Structure 1
Amino acid sequence: MCKKFFLVFLMFFVGATSAWSETYKPFVLNNTQIVPIHSKFTGRDHELVVVLPSSYATNPNKKYPVLYYLDAYWDTPLLVSTYGNLTYDNVVPEFIMVGLSYPSSASYDKERRLDYTFTVAGEQSGKANLFLDFIQKEAAPLIEAKFRGDKKDRVLSGNSLGGLFTITAAYQAPNFFSGFIAISPAASWDNGALFKLDESYANQNKSLNGRMFISYGTTEYPSFRDPIIQFQKQIEARQYQGLELLNYSMEGLDHTSVKGDGYVRGLMWVWKTKKPAGPSGLERAITGAK
């Protein structure tokens, strides 16, 4: 009897599961698409998670600023939500988002360690120069040719090792990006290699163009947090010509919880000069203003 009862229950469970899957559909982020791309520079497969602004289809001749953000396999839902909130409040212009990602079969931790670090410190590291070539010479030209990205207004962003890569790109690809958002950058990487890069650059250059946002959370692990604070002070003291710098701290936030506030503040900062005129969405809803 027990065996018979179990078989009946199993059949019921399978039927219920099937009915559940037929009744409900998955939640999908609108205006998104994944573009596979093989890089001749890294020699590996990559994916671009392209998120288009809502006006894209109705403005076929318009070019849009572009945010290139790292770790798209983790942060795309956050960025899509943040973008919607900021454009509703009318504090940033419409822009295209391009998430830098890998195929789902990849080991993200290994891939990002290889691509986001510019010096070798252990295995699977130190290939950021090739990844930067991939962005500059393959990803960006594709976005600008097929999706009307504005080559005069590119912003790069990332967290942790992604933040490290973002800052190093400012030195190694001058004038390619107009803005940089480095959230909790791994400033301690390879015994302070970032500090040495800045020092070497400063010995030969007085200018560093772009709007840059560097942040950290006050409750991050001290040995990770304190080098960020030190680097903020170092780059601020340089007083580079052409650099609009915002150093920012997030009270009571740790290493990944900083992303929400970091992206809000960072995006507002890099596009501060392009804040649209007019009221916010809430003001329009309440007053009928346009």
Structure 2
Amino acid sequence: MRSAKIFLLLVFVVTAHVVCAQQSVKHFVLNNTEIIPISSKHTGRAHELVIVYPFSYNTNPDKKYPVLYYLDAYWDTPLLVSTYGNLIYDNLVPEFIMVGLSYPSSADYGKERRMDYTFTAVGKGSGRADLFLQFIQHEVAPLIEKQYRGEKTDRVVAGNSLGGLFAITAAYQAPDFFSGFIALSPAVEWDKQALVKLDNNYAKTHKSLNGRMFISYGSTEYPAFRDPIINFQQQLAARKYQGLELQNYVMQGLDHTTVKGDGYVRGLIWAWKHKKPAGPSGLERDMTGAK
């Protein structure tokens, strides 16, 4: 009987210790972020916006900021938050608001992005990028510019793979809405290179394509995916569109998703090169006291 009591006491102590340990677990949280649910009349579906505020947002209540609209926020928000902090410390870009385009956590991300990021249909569940673009133009951007102090004249759109395809497509289908385009390993091969056909048709009647555009790929990507990107880079450069400031870039030794780190750093620097702040980097300030 005494042994049974001792056993029960030990079980109680161990259980209480585990419960206390679970209650004391701390989770890493990304500061200056907020998730905004939004239902779209254009797509007819539920979405989420992951808003990342610049460091000075709360101390400068009258200031408006450029805005980065980035796709695949459910995957890339931690990377971009870190990238943003590094770029700001090195004084390479202006402060800007980041608006990540996402979906509720219960969503099938692969299914959703295939639907929203492609402008031509390949089978069912694709080819609705026009509606997703209208969602950004007429629902997301007005919200950000009215309630969150986003600038109307300095919007950049960015994405990887199908997201990169969407970013480039937006340059043709929403003239002058975005000022910058960042396309990391864009899916140029989609639908028998429909993007190439889009550019060919556009060039027949247009001499200009406005904006700062960054297109990159990894040298070790699957050739059937990589080579169409290379060819499209060359085609776009040869157009010499008025108003287009193009930077083509290759990341040696990187593959399809590992390009994101270097790609977002260089893409953001390129997109806002004209707004690079004056003055020294954070390291120089820390070491010398310079301002």
Answer yes or no: same fold by TM over 0.5: yes
Percent of aligned positions with the same letter in both sequences? 72
Q: Is 2:49 aligned against 1:48?
A: yes
Q: Distance in 2 between matches of 1:4 and 1:230?
A: 77
Q: Alpha-carbon deviations, 1:90-118, whole Å to 9, x = none?
A: 00000000000000011000000000000
Q: Per-residue displacement from partner, 1:212-247 (whole Å, max 9, x unpaired)?
A: 000000011110111100110011110000000000
The aligned residue for residue 85 of structure 1 is 86
Other-structure match for 1:97: 98
**1:195 corresponding residue in structure 2:** 196
Q: What residue in structure 1 maps to residue 70 of structure 2?
A: 69
The whole-number CA distance in structure 1 between the counterparts of 2:214 and 2:263 is 9
Task: Give 1:182's aligned residue.
Answer: 183
Q: What is the correspondence of 1:236-255 to structure 2 with a 5 Å cutoff? A: 236-255=237-256
**Structure 1's 4 and 150: CA in aligned 2 closer, same or farther, altered over 3 A?**
same
Q: TM-score, normalised by structure 1?
A: 0.96
CA distance in structure 1 between the aligned counterparts of 2:16 and 2:225, rounded to whole angstroms: 51
CA deviation map 1:30-58 (0-9, x unaligned): 11000111000000000000000010111
Deviation at 1:7?
8.0
Q: Which residue in 2 is equivalent to 1:120?
A: 121
Q: CA RMSD in A?
A: 1.7
| 2:174 paired residue number | 173
TM-score by structure 2 length? 0.96
Q: CA deviation at 1:122?
A: 1.6
Q: Which structure 1 residue ranges, 5 or more long, are not aligned?
A: none
**Equivalent residue number for residue 107 of structure 1:** 108
Alignment correspondent of 2:16: 15
Question: In structure 1, what is the equivalent of residue 130 of structure 2?
Answer: 129
State the one-letter code of the partner of 1:53.
Answer: P
The DSSP-based 3-state class of the residue aligned with 1:256 is coil
Residue 228 (structure 1) aligns with: 229
Equivalent residue, structure 1, for 2:280:
279
CA shift, 1:10, in A, is 6.7
Q: Work out the CA distance in 1 between the residues paired with 2:230 and 2:45.
A: 35
Secondary structure of the residue that 1:210 maps to in structure 2? strand
SS across alignment from 1:25: coil
Q: Whose radius of gyration is greater, 1 or 2?
A: 2
**Amino acid aligned to 2:71:** L
CA distance in 1, matches of 2:261, 2:32: 21
Partner of 2:140: 139
| Segment drifting more, 40-49 vs 8-17 | 8-17
Partner Cα distance (1:240, 1:52) in 2: 34
Q: Secondary structure at the match of 2:168?
A: helix
Q: CA 1:143–1:12 in 2, change beyond 3 Å: closer, same or farther?
A: same
Structure 1 window deviating more from structure 2 (17-26 vs 68-77): it is 17-26
Q: Which runs of 5+ in 2 are unaligned?
A: none
Equivalent position of 2:149 in the other structure: 148
Give the drift of 1:60.
1.1
- Aligned-residue offset at 1:193: 0.2
In the other structure, the counterpart of 1:265 is: 266
Per-residue deviation, residues 102-161 of structure 1 (Å, max 9, x unmatched): 000110000000000000002210000000000000000000000000010000000000
Taking the aligned partners of 2:222 and 2:8, their CA distance within structure 1 comes to: 53
- Go from structure 1 to structure 2 and tell me whether the alpha carbon gap of 1:288 and 1:220 turns closer, same or farther (over 3 Å shift): same
What secondary structure does 1:269 align onto?
A: helix
